[in-house]
């Protein structure tokens, strides 16, 4: 069952009922100011950091679900409603939500009035702009009233929902002309405030929540709206809100537009005030002036669209498969960019207060956006590296606002350092910019203790070889990629966090996954050493990689698949010998991606075992059989009910590892089969089961052991976006940025005839036609560049800024 359709020309998903199986959201903002907005206008806004600079309130896991957002109430002669249906839930004669790239437009119509509510964050602007178009679709003149509504958060979202003894007394606002200013704590140490304006004179306003709602009412029935009369309340403590009241008279067929701006201002310390306790409004008024007219809004929308067209133009496919086209051309790169902006901080499953930026997460996310915005990838790499320690270990997370490592979570996730090599290598392969390696980067964010980024990579690599366990495999530390395989935790305390609680000093538990990752990214490190003339270092690294490959085959292979780990007691995990958790997806993916066991047949066996033991019709589950009880020596993985999350859920993040691994072995049909099982556009028809947005990936789909097999959770912010992007654009479609140029090496379903890709690479545009006359899956028989034959399948960068024709024949 579907709840909307893709509009590929407009790059929108069009939702045609507010009653989607879960709120289907979109993101506004690209730089500093962000908003989350659902198809019923729920959500919130923040400046840079969803925890520390939250502008508007949002109550997670609220009843009803997704209550709270940017609401515009239409009062029509005693009747009142909201165009997004929520929160009033009055029946609409027409409803439509269009989620586009960086904007959302919601239209509702009732009794001859239609309201379209468009929201976006203009480029270079620290505010959401909302354009309301109110139209009289009937045949008689109508007088209606519009009431806006936003509830202010007292900045620190965590404190805002816990410290009521203080916060219910601190709220302050100012109202001047058509602007409501929220200035809580501005009187003391804050130098920022929020404002909410509209581009016409007010007929009233409210800034005190209870005066607007009535003491015991909800957002579905505010007293002010029900009465059609604003109360002109001025908040003093309690809960400040912003509500503008506007009377509109509309002739038949007439439409009027109103522009609201909900923004953020920072003043210099000496410019905070215009009079005693009167805030300096000049910068707010200057911002508001920029969006006084429809022409200004239209121009900003055009700039936003051009921004996105520019980003997406870096990789475009034309194929006969609409679903593939819309994933590759629009939605997957879009999700990658959103994930770049948000990391794991703010979604409808991430509260914006829990997690900062992940060290491993951000490095992997980079894979999905480095070609779109290489300069910002560069900056991100340097930020991440600065939270590393001298021995190569790293803070697992850092805060976006301070860029400092997060002490609560700490360090000790032993895969972390390797992802920095992966991210940096991806950046250099894309851009050819090796100067990044010479950048001076702090350790532990200490500007007095710096080293080159290259040195950071060196300590990353060595952190693995300096921390090997009894079998010569890498020690796992707190955990590796699988944050829930906590082999040194031994937590007995109810509620204790597996992620933050102190671990025992484990020098036994080892990870086959980290071994595979080491062999996978190691060669890039060795290559980088050679690029810097450090041949001895490179040779040494290559020897260590080779050792690790052998060790993995000797101690990390269980006969038919790769083992997962050794626990604290040196016992196997992910082995036939185990009763539960006999086979895990992660080592199969990463080891085969690294080429381990390709020659000896272990890789083929591993993929066969994945297919036989882990595959389902909705994707590949993380492990089998699921853990049915809590294992003290395994930790969080065994806390989830079978079929969910890391305990045998379909983790969409590492399904692409299997896709890529299958392409290493030349299995194009199988790789694409797995791709299309979890790519959201292919799941649109089962949206009632899948429940999350059909235009973005979710982290997890319930596995076969779960009651609701096929149901997804944790949409948007997941490494799934980047890895699926890599799997489809690089491994399957085969366009691979490499140190020496653009490599073309597709691995596709044999029945495909041809497809065309336009790829911008180091300033040139390559139009690549791939023909498959002999219906093979893999193997480049010939390649021409602008008509001339090229010996290998690597196109050396032309670097003339031109458009170049590439013709590839498989065979």
Residues contributing to the site for ligand BGC (CB under 6 A)? 355, 483-484, 499, 636, 645-646
* # chain residues binding ligand NOJ, by CB under 6 A: 9
Binds 145: which of ligand NOJ, ligand BGC, none (CB < 5-8 Å by kind)? none
Binds 360: which of ligand BGC, ligand NOJ, none (CB < 5-8 Å by kind)? ligand NOJ
- 355 or 778: whose CB is closer to ligand BGC? 355
- 127 or 479: whose CB is closer to ligand NOJ? 479
Binds 57: which of ligand NOJ, ligand BGC, none (CB < 5-8 Å by kind)? none
Minimal CA–CA distance to 522: which of 468, 591, 469?
Answer: 591
Minimal CA–CA distance to 125: which of 51, 258, 34?
Answer: 34
How far is Cα 622 from Cα 641, in angstroms, rounded to an integer? 13
Binds 209: which of ligand BGC, ligand NOJ, none (CB < 5-8 Å by kind)? none
Q: How far is the CB of 354 from ligand NOJ (least distance, A)?
A: 11
Pick the stretch among 62-70, 356-364, 426-434, 560-568 that binds ligand NOJ (CB under 6 A). 356-364
Q: Is the dihedral of CA 100, 292, 130, 196 positive or negative?
A: positive
- State how beta strands 440-443 and 780-785 pair: unpaired
When CB distances to ligand NOJ are compared, the closest residue is: 483
- 355 or 458: whose CB is closer to ligand BGC? 355
- 329 or 482: whose CB is closer to ligand BGC? 482
Query: Per-residue b/e over 382-393, b at no fewer than 16 CB within 10 Å?
Result: bbbbbbbbeebb
- 49 or 646: whose CB is closer to ligand BGC? 646
Binds 481: which of ligand NOJ, ligand BGC, none (CB < 5-8 Å by kind)? ligand NOJ
**Can you say how many angstroms the Cα of residue 337 is from the centroid of all Cα atoms in its chain?**
7
Which CA distances in Å does 804 have to 729, 789, 795? 19, 13, 11
Which CA distances in Å does 365 have to 124, 361, 459, 479, 513? 23, 6, 22, 19, 19
CA angle 98, 103, 106 (to 5 degrees): 40
Binds 11: which of ligand NOJ, ligand BGC, none (CB < 5-8 Å by kind)? none
With contact defined as beta carbons under 8 Å apart, do 375 and 432 qualify? Answer: no
Q: How far is the CB of 645 from ligand BGC (least distance, A)?
A: 5
Q: How far is the CB of 623 from ligand BGC (least distance, A)?
A: 14
Q: Which residues 540-599 are close enough to bind ligand NOJ by CB under 6 A?
A: none
Q: How far is the CB of 415 from ligand NOJ (least distance, A)?
A: 8
Residue of the chain from 182, 360, 605, 704 that contacts ligand NOJ (CB under 6 A): 360
Binds 670: which of ligand BGC, ligand NOJ, none (CB < 5-8 Å by kind)? none
- 97 or 426: whose CB is closer to ligand NOJ? 426
- Catalytic pick among 160, 415, 483, 524: 483
Q: Which residues 433-452 are close enough to bind ligand NOJ by CB under 6 A?
A: none
Give the number of other CB atoms < 10 A from CB of residue 328.
26
Q: Is 71 helix (H, G, I), strand (E, B) or coil?
A: strand
How far is Cα 87 from Cα 65, in angstroms, rounded to an integer? 10
- 160 or 361: whose CB is closer to ligand NOJ? 361
Q: Which residues 288-347 are close enough to bind ligand NOJ by CB under 6 A?
A: 344
Question: Which region, left, alpha or beta, applies to residue 216 given φ > 0 means left and ψ of -120 to 50 means alpha?
Answer: alpha
How far is Cα 366 from Cα 373, in angstroms, rounded to an integer? 10
How far is Cα 732 from Cα 668, in angstroms, rounded to an integer? 7
Residue of the chain from 208, 361, 416, 684 that contacts ligand NOJ (CB under 6 A): 361
Q: Per residue, what are the HEC states of 335-382?
A: HHHHHHHHCCCECCCCECCCCCEEHHHHHHHHHHHCCCCHHHHHHHHH
Both tokens assigned to 76: 């029509």
Binds 416: which of ligand NOJ, ligand BGC, none (CB < 5-8 Å by kind)? none
Residue of the chain from 358, 432, 474, 556 that contacts ligand NOJ (CB under 6 A): 358
Whether 79 is a known active-site residue: answer no
- 350 or 662: whose CB is closer to ligand NOJ? 350
Hey, which residues does 769 pair with through a beta bridge?
756, 807
* H helix runs in 577-728, sequence order: 585-593, 602-613, 655-664, 668-678, 687-690, 720-726
- 725 or 761: whose CB is closer to ligand NOJ? 725
Pick the stretch among 141-149, 178-186, 190-198, 476-484 that binds ligand NOJ (CB under 6 A). 476-484
Pick the stretch among 117-125, 320-328, 357-365, 491-499 that binds ligand NOJ (CB under 6 A). 357-365
Q: Is 392 helix (H, G, I), strand (E, B) or coil?
A: coil
Q: How far is the CB of 463 from ligand NOJ (least distance, A)?
A: 18
Both tokens assigned to 642: 């079978």
Binds 361: which of ligand BGC, ligand NOJ, none (CB < 5-8 Å by kind)? ligand NOJ
- 182 or 344: whose CB is closer to ligand NOJ? 344
Both tokens assigned to 544: 């260590």
x/- binding map, residues 479-498, to ligand NOJ, per CB under 6 A?
--xxxx--------------
x/- binding map, residues 640-659, to ligand NOJ, per CB under 6 A?
------x-------------
356 is an interface residue for ligand NOJ by CB under 6 A: no
Q: Per residue, what are the HEC states of 229-277?
A: CCCCECCECCCEEEEEEEEEEECCCCEEEEEEEEEEEECCHHHCEEECC
Helices 453-465 and 374-385 pack at an angle, to 10 degrees, of 60
Pick the stretch among 44-52, 353-361, 466-474, 667-675 that binds ligand NOJ (CB under 6 A). 353-361
DSSP code at position 474: B
Cis status of the peptide bond prior to 64, with omega within 30 of 0: yes
How far is Cα 63 from Cα 81, in angstroms, rounded to an integer? 19
Q: How far is the CB of 477 from ligand BGC (least distance, A)?
A: 14
Q: How far is the CB of 705 from ligand BGC (least distance, A)?
A: 16
- 355 or 456: whose CB is closer to ligand BGC? 355
Q: How far is the CB of 358 from ligand BGC (least distance, A)?
A: 8
Using a 10 angstrom Cβ sphere, with 0-12 exposed, 13-18 middle and 19 or more buried, the burial of residue 449 is exposed
- 548 or 590: whose CB is closer to ligand BGC? 590
Q: How far is the CB of 483 from ligand BGC (least distance, A)?
A: 3
Q: How far is the CB of 713 from ligand BGC (least distance, A)?
A: 11
Binds 499: which of ligand BGC, ligand NOJ, none (CB < 5-8 Å by kind)? ligand BGC
Q: How far is the CB of 32 from ligand BGC (least distance, A)?
A: 25
With contact defined as beta carbons under 8 Å apart, do 610 and 669 qualify? Answer: no
With contact defined as beta carbons under 8 Å apart, do 437 and 421 qualify? Answer: no
Binds 365: which of ligand BGC, ligand NOJ, none (CB < 5-8 Å by kind)? none
When CB distances to ligand BGC are compared, the closest residue is: 483
Q: How far is the CB of 420 from ligand NOJ (least distance, A)?
A: 14
Helices 512-531 and 453-465 pack at an angle, to 10 degrees, of 140
Hey, which residues does 713 pair with through a beta bridge?
700
Q: How far is the CB of 499 from ligand NOJ (least distance, A)?
A: 10
Binds 160: which of ligand NOJ, ligand BGC, none (CB < 5-8 Å by kind)? none
- 172 or 636: whose CB is closer to ligand BGC? 636
With contact defined as beta carbons under 8 Å apart, do 664 and 592 qualify? Answer: yes
CA angle 180, 182, 184 (to 5 degrees): 155
The residues annotated with a catalytic role in the active site are 483
Q: What residues make contact with ligand NOJ under the rule CB under 6 A? A: 344, 358, 360-361, 481-484, 646
């Amino acid at each position: 069952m579907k709840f909307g359709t893709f509009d590929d020309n407009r790059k929108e998903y069009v939702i045609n009922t507010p009653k989607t199986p879960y709120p289907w959201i979109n993101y506004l903002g690209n730089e500093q100011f962000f908003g989350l907005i659902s198809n019923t206008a729920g959500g919130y806004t923040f400046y840079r950091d969803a925890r520390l600079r939250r502008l508007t309130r949002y109550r997670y896991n609220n009843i009803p679900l997704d209550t709270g957002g940017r609401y515009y109430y239409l009062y029509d002669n005693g009747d009142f409603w909201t165009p997004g249906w929520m929160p009033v839930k009055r029946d609409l004669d027409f409803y439509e939500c269009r989620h586009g790239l960086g904007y959302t437009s919601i239209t509702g119509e009732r009794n001859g009035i239609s309201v379209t509510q468009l929201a976006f964050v203009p480029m270079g602007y620290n505010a959401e702009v909302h354009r309301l178009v109110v139209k009289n679709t009937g045949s008689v003149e109508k007088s209606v009233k519009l009431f806006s509504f936003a509830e202010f958060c007292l900045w620190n979202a965590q404190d805002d929902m816990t410290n009521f003894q203080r916060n219910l007394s601190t709220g302050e606002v100012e109202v001047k002309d058509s602007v409501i200013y929220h200035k809580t704590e501005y009187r003391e140490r804050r130098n920022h405030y929020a404002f909410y304006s509209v581009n016409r004179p007010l007929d009233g306003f409210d800034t005190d929540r209870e005066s607007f709602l009535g003491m015991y009412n909800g957002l579905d029935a505010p007293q002010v709206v029900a009465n059609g009369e604003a109360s002109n309340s001025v908040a003093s403590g309690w809960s400040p809100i912003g509500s503008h009241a506007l009377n509109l008279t509309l002739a038949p067929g007439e439409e009027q537009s109103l522009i609201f701006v909900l923004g953020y201002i920072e003043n210099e310390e000496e410019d905070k005030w215009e009079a005693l306790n009167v805030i300096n409004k000049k910068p707010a008024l200057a911002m508001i002036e920029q969006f006084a007219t429809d022409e200004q809004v239209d121009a900003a929308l055009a700039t936003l669209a051009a921004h996105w067209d520019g980003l997406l133009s870096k990789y475009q496919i034309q194929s006969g498969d609409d679903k593939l086209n819309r994933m590759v051309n629009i939605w997957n790169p879009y999700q990658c960019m959103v994930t770049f902006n948000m990391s794991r901080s703010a979604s409808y499953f991430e509260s914006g207060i829990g997690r900062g930026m992940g060290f491993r997460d951000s490095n992997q996310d980079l894979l999905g956006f480095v070609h779109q915005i290489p300069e910002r990838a560069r900056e991100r790499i340097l930020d991440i590296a600065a939270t590393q320690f001298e021995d190569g270990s790293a803070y697992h997370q850092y805060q976006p606002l301070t860029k400092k490592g997060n002490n609560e979570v700490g360090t000790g996730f032993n895969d972390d350092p390797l992802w920095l090599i992966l991210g940096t290598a991806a950046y250099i392969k894309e851009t050819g910019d090796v100067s990044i390696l010479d950048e001076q980067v702090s350790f532990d964010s200490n500007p007095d203790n710096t080293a080159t980024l290259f040195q950071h990579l060196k300590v990353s690599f060595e952190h693995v070889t300096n921390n090997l366990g009894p079998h010569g495999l890498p020690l796992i530390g707190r955990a590796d990629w699988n944050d829930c395989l906590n082999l040194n935790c031994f937590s007995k305390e109810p509620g204790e966090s597996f992620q933050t609680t102190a671990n025992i000093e484990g020098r036994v538990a080892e990870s086959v996954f980290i071994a595979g990752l080491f062999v996978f990214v190691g060669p890039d490190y060795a290559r980088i050493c050679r690029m810097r003339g450090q041949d001895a270092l490179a040779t040494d690294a290559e020897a260590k990689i080779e050792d690790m490959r052998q060790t993995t085959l000797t101690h990390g292979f269980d006969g038919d698949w790769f083992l997962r780990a050794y626990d604290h007691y040196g016992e196997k995990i992910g082995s036939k010998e185990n009763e539960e958790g006999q086979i895990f997806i992660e080592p199969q993916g990463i080891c085969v991606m690294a080429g381990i066991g390709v020659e000896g047949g272990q890789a083929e066996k591993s993929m066969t075992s994945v297919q036989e033991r882990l595959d389902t019709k909705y994707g590949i589950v993380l492990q089998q059989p699921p853990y049915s009880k809590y294992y003290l020596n395994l930790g969080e993985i065994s806390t989830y009910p079978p079929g969910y999350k890391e305990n045998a859920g379909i983790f969409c993040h590492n399904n692409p590892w299997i896709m890529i691994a299958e392409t290493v072995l030349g299995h194009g049909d199988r790789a694409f089969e797995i791709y299309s099982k979890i790519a959201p556009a292919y799941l649109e028809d089962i949206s009632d089961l899948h429940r999350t947005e059909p235009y973005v990936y979710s982290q997890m789909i319930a596995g076969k052991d779960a009651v609701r097999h096929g149901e997804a959770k944790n949409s948007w912010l997941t490494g799934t976006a980047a890895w699926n992007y890599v799997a489809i654009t690089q491994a399957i479609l085969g366009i691979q940025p490499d140190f020496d140029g653009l490599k073309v090496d597709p691995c596709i379903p044999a029945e495909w005839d041809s497809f065309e890709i336009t790829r911008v690479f180091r300033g040139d545009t390559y139009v690549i036609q791939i023909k498959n006359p002999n219906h093979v899956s893999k193997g480049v028989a010939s390649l021409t560049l602008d008509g001339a034959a090229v010996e290998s399948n690597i196109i050396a960068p032309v670097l003339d800024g031109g458009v170049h024709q590439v013709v590839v024949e498989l065979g």
